[in-house]
């Protein structure tokens, strides 16, 4: 059964257009509530959100939908996605719900869910919800309606959890860190985490107004962080995205490090401490240089489909703990059940302090292959898979690259885009090949 509404990370779209409308979101919550009640008489659901102005409307719709199915609701307010996952598990809730479109611009929003264990839910569960959406609602009567309350110290609980993942014998004293929260869910949390661990913090992207999330700041616009690190002569820079589940890091020279490099550093740290790392999981987009570097250290590497849920599935299947995406969405399952930009940063800072080396020094032997990624927007019912010219040019490029590169073409799970990625040792050749393929999709 294919999914009608759910993409690779929940349900996402433009606010005011199906499915991100208050009436649909109310029906969605009601359907989810009915699915929950198949296995639990009185479920409790946590709801957190990022800083988009539309979050107020969608929060109210979710609350009504759950209550109408006889499900209790706990409102967390603005909180990073991984914070909702943590509190769902810590408070023994039935489900965690996040209102966020992550790195998308403010006109978009979305809904994603976490299980009682703080993990992304399966495709089967999403299919059950979609099936329930097709059924007539069964409204609870007045005596069995759900109730709602607010958890006032949600942010403080999550801050303490993040700090607990940093070694007790280490401190950030003497370090100046620029923290960019993308005007998103971590605006009131990220600066405190690093400050309370001893760092001097310079905050940017921490003044949300409901309309500026991800706007020219954060992990999708790291140039702002690079400039701020240089201007403040900081030791380190941290750029989160709108819901703080992914991160990009910058060193004192202004050099930017992506998720592939951070995954390698996390593996390196555990190996240096004598911990076994049988393998790590990346995605189809992970840079080939990192795969080769890990294998050179005796660490097996497996590629999953793009999307942290698929990385998590591979990790659980193999009983491994480290994996992630180049976007900065990284998993350390011995620390958290889901990707967390703050915890990833603390793991990297730990590695640097223990090794007494900089990120550049630790990554000296890993030179990333140039990658060119071109997003081509689809129009109407355009069927890119049936494009014979695309197939012909792709085969030609693959033959040209041979063993020294690779091509990946995939549809976005959250936007009407086709992503064309080419990776090779030569940057000019990489750009040329990617553009040739992308041109076949232009309308």
54, 68, 102, 327: the active-site residue: 102
3-state secondary structure of 426: coil
For residue 358, indicate whether it is catalytic: no
* Token reading at 443: 């309308």
Quick check: 81 and 243 in contact, CB under 8 A? yes
Measure the CA–CA gap between 417 and 11, rounded to whole angstroms.
16
Tell me the CA distances in angstroms from 85 to 88, 116, 158, 340, one per residue in order: 5, 8, 10, 10
Q: How many CA atoms lie within 13 A of 370 on its CB side?
A: 13
Tell me the CA distances in angstroms from 50 to 85, 209, 238, 333, 409, one per residue in order: 14, 11, 18, 24, 31
Phi/psi of residue 364, nearest 5 degrees: -55, -35
Q: Which of 107, 82, 109, 110 is nearest to 96 (CA)?
A: 82
Mark 147-167 as b/e (b = at least 16 C-beta within 10 Å).
ebeebeebbebbbebbbebbe
Tell me the CA distances in angstroms from 248 to 17, 84, 218, 256, 436, one per residue in order: 31, 21, 8, 7, 29
* Token reading at 220: 């999708």
Q: Which residues pair with 376 in a beta bridge?
A: 418
Instruction: List residues with catalytic annotation.
Output: 102
């Amino acid at each position: 059964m294919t999914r009608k509404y759910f993409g690779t990370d929940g349900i996402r779209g433009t606010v005011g257009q199906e499915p991100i409308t208050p009436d649909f979101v109310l029906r969605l919550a009601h359907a989810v509530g009915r699915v929950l009640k198949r296995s639990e008489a009185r479920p409790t659901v946590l709801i957190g959100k990022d800083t988009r102005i539309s979050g107020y409307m969608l929060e109210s719709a979710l609350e009504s939908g759950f209550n109408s199915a006889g499900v209790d609701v706990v409102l967390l307010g603005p909180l990073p996605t991984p914070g909702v996952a943590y509190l769902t598990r810590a408070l023994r809730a039935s489900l965690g719900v996040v209102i966020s479109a992550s790195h998308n611009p403010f006109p978009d929003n979305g809904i994603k869910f976490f299980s009682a264990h703080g993990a992304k839910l399966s495709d089967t569960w999403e299919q059950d919800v979609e099936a329930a959406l097709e059924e007539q609602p069964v409204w609870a009567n007045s005596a069995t309606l759900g109730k709602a309350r607010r958890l006032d110290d949600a942010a403080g609980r999550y801050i303490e959890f993040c700090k607990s993942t940093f070694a007790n014998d280490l401190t950030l004293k003497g370090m100046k860190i620029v923290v960019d929260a993308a005007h998103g869910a971590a605006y009131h949390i990220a600066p405190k985490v690093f400050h309370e661990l001893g760092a001097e913090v310079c905050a940017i992207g921490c003044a949300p107004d409901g309309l500026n999330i991800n706007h020219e700041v954060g992990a999708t616009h790291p140039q702002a962080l690079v400039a701020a690190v240089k201007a403040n002569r900081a030791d380190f820079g941290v750029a989160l995205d709108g819901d703080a589940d992914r991160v990009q890091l910058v060193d004192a020279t202004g050099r930017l490090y992506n998720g592939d490099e951070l995954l390698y550093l996390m593996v390196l740290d555990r190996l240096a401490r004598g911990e076994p790392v049988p393998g790590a999981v990346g995605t189809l987009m992970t840079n080939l240089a990192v795969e080769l570097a890990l294998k050179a250290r005796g660490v097996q590497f497996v590629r999953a489909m793009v999307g942290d849920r698929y990385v998590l599935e591979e990790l659980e299947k193999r009983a491994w703990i480290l994996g992630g995406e180049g976007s900065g969405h990284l998993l350390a399952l011995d620390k958290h059940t889901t990707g967390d930009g703050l915890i990833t940063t603390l793991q990297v800072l730990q590695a640097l302090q223990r090794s007494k080396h900089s990120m550049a020094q630790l990554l000296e032997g890993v030179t990333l292959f140039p990658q060119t990624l071109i997003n081509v927007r689809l129009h109407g019912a355009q069927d890119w898979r049936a494009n014979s010219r695309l197939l012909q040019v792709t085969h030609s490029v693959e033959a040209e690259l041979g063993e020294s590169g690779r091509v990946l073409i995939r549809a976005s799970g959250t936007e009407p885009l086709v992503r064309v990625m080419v990776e090779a040792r030569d940057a000019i050749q990489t750009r040329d090949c990617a553009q040739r393929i992308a041109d076949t999709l232009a309308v």
